[in-house]
Structure 1
Amino acid sequence: MSAPIAAPAAVVFDRVTRRFGSGEGAVDALADVSLDIPRGSIFGVLGESGAGKSTLLRLMNGLDHPTSGRVLVGGTDLASLAPRELRAMRHRIGVVFQHFNLVGNLTARANVALPLRLQHRRDPERVAAMLEFVGLSALADRYPAQLSGGQQQRVAIARALVTGPELLLCDEPTSALDTHTTAEILDLLQTTRTEFGTTIALVTHELDAVQAVCDAAAVFERGVLLDTVAVPRTTRQREQRYLDHVRSRLAS
């Protein structure tokens, strides 16, 4: 009996360097980075400010291209795409931002519907389903200023998922939130992977977030990939996380 064929990686960085400037003033935001993000995983990108995390994310979204090397998303080299093809590829990639980036004069419902409108699509049932998925059906007609930080991030996640992306890029999605709300958002990301099979790249400087939900993580420092490590998932860790979550609820 032949061995099963492994699914291709969702994202591949193939000896990627991104250099800014030239001559003696040149700076490598990323230096000869090679890594694979497995399909269907929650993959952490961990490092302090200046480690190259934001550049890595921009390369995965096709907003920037490598100075050398290749970034493959779903087997496609993003730098090889024409502008129209790249726009179509971005419809398969959702992004969740640190500070939510909601449109202030649109309701939660309208914010979630916005990516569909930009694609000239109207699907109120899909919008309603995403709001229900993130637990905000009852708040659909509220504006961002009427929502807590955690609720705004839930709207942002629903907006990122409404087009059914294969890849979800999360740029420091919990760093503006308190401990209790952070646990809820991380739980929602886990449910997203379980429910939709979405590959999630979690860009963060928070080790606790990586330990809580990631299958593996790439550790960066000053543009250099130091290591790629598996994150152990033990019963004890899950129990401790649950207890911490309960304690935070009781304290609030």
Structure 2
Amino acid sequence: MIPPTAPAVEFVRVTRTFEGGDQPVTALSDVSLTVPRGAVFGVVGESGAGKSTLLRMMNGLDHPTSGRVLFDGIDLSTLTKRELNAVRHRIGVVFQSFNLVGNLTVRDNIALPLRLQRGRGAEVSRRVAELVDFVGLGPRLDHYPAQLSGGEKQRVAIARALATHPTMLLCDEPTSALDTHTTGEILTLLGATRAEFGTSIVLVTHELDAVKRICDSAAIFEAGELRDIIAVEAQTGSRELSYVEHVRAELQR
């Protein structure tokens, strides 16, 4: 049973070390953070900062070397494979490269996770219709990915991620392949997702403007360490020129 006050995700002193080469590589080092339920939480960091490892742990695809990752109060590392698969149905993922199936239409791409769960025809059709309307792709329902623009592909990907009624959406650089105007549209759609469905959203991005636009707070990672968690609406300045201070100043401007 989910504790009523449990955060969407909680990392408790999480370290992840990978063996290999001459010496182990620490992707995350003693990370503790909380993603509040219903929040839009940004994760910012340069390449190699540990962001991908963080997302994989939130999705139960990887587990800590030490520490705990809790999803809705549940320690993911204690679950059986069947229990973990059930939890993953409550977690949607949106990728930078869209990851659509090329030989499936918009309709069938959105329906895919429901069919994998053996959803019934009428129920699947109803849910697809709801999501197509929500993301504004009705005229494209029977088109294939190759016939869509980048923004339209990402709308399909968001609709597909929402198909199973997830409580959390993990977004891995969802706007980095898009132009400025389309980026704004996708960010607006993500904001509407939180407002419409109460979905908790984790947004991993290099784009500070994206974080400033829709996130409530953002974690700054550097070389596997959590350097700071910033309230995005805060209004303070900084004269430091380090990466962490640069991010802090931008998000608090």
Compute the TM-score of the two structures, normalised by the length of structure 1.
0.89
Identical columns (%): 68
Q: Provide the residue aligned with 2:172 in structure 1.
A: 171
Q: Provide the residue aligned with 2:46 in structure 1.
A: 48
Give the letter for the 1:71 counterpart.
V
Question: Using the alignment, how far apart are the partners of 1:183 and 1:233 within structure 2?
Answer: 22
Structure 2 unaligned segments of length 5 or more: list them.
236-253
Structure 1 unaligned segments of length 5 or more: list them.
235-252
Q: Provide the residue aligned with 1:87 in structure 2.
A: 85
Q: Provide the residue aligned with 1:190 in structure 2.
A: 191
Shift of 1:6: 8.6
Give the letter for the 1:163 counterpart.
T
Q: Provide the residue aligned with 2:125 in structure 1.
A: 124
Question: Using the alignment, how far apart are the partners of 1:75 and 1:26 within structure 2?
Answer: 30
Give the letter for the 2:72 counterpart.
G
Structure 1 counterpart SS, 2:109: helix
Shift of 1:138: 1.1
Equivalent of residue 34 in structure 1, options 27, 32, 35: 32
Q: Provide the residue aligned with 1:161 in structure 2.
A: 162
Instruction: Assess, with a 3 A threshold, how the Cα gap between structure 1 residues 102 and 233 changes in structure 2: closer, same or farther.
Output: farther
Output one character per residue of 1:136-193: Cα deviation in whole Å (capped at 9) or x when no partner: 0111000000000000000000000011000000000000000000000000000000
Q: Provide the residue aligned with 2:17 in structure 1.
A: 19
Question: Using the alignment, how far apart are the partners of 1:187 and 1:233 within structure 2?
Answer: 21
Q: Provide the residue aligned with 1:64 in structure 2.
A: 62
Give the letter for the 2:162 counterpart.
L
Instruction: Assess, with a 3 A threshold, how the Cα gap between structure 1 residues 97 and 158 changes in structure 2: closer, same or farther.
Output: same
Question: Using the alignment, how far apart are the partners of 1:178 and 1:23 within structure 2?
Answer: 39
Q: Does 1:145 align with 2:146?
A: yes
Compute the TM-score of the two structures, normalised by the length of structure 2.
0.88
Question: Using the alignment, how far apart are the partners of 1:206 and 1:13 within structure 2?
Answer: 24
Structure 2 counterpart SS, 1:46: strand
Aligned residues, how many? Answer: 230
Question: Using the alignment, how far apart are the partners of 1:138 and 1:93 within structure 2?
Answer: 28
Question: Using the alignment, how far apart are the partners of 1:118 and 1:132 within structure 2?
Answer: 22
Structure 2 counterpart SS, 1:142: coil
Give the letter for the 1:162 counterpart.
A
Q: List 4+ stretches of structure 1 deviating above 4 A.
A: none
